[in-house]
Amino acid sequence: ERRLLWVDEGYVDAPVLQREGLRRGEQITGPAVIESYDSTTYVAPRWSLLADDNLLVLQRGAPA
């Protein structure tokens, strides 16, 4: 699924991913939305997210 998000000064087309579908070690570059049954995580542009077994780790700066 994809969704239009308002970011900074305009809309961007961003993926919407299910938390339960992320694999350990998977890295997502923003913008993106991660949905779960009990929460929603927004990954901003120029940020990245690393999925661990029980954590989502947000890091400033997208990976090279």
- The low-confidence residues of the chain, meaning pLDDT below 50, are none
pLDDT in tens, 28-40: 999 999 999 999 9
Q: Where are the domains of the chain?
A: 2-60
C-alpha to C-alpha distance for 33 and 5, rounded to whole angstroms: 9
pLDDT of residue 63: 66
Backbone angles phi, psi at 61, to 5 degrees: 95, 120
pLDDT of residue 62: 66
C-alpha to C-alpha distance for 9 and 43, rounded to whole angstroms: 17
pLDDT of residue 15: 98
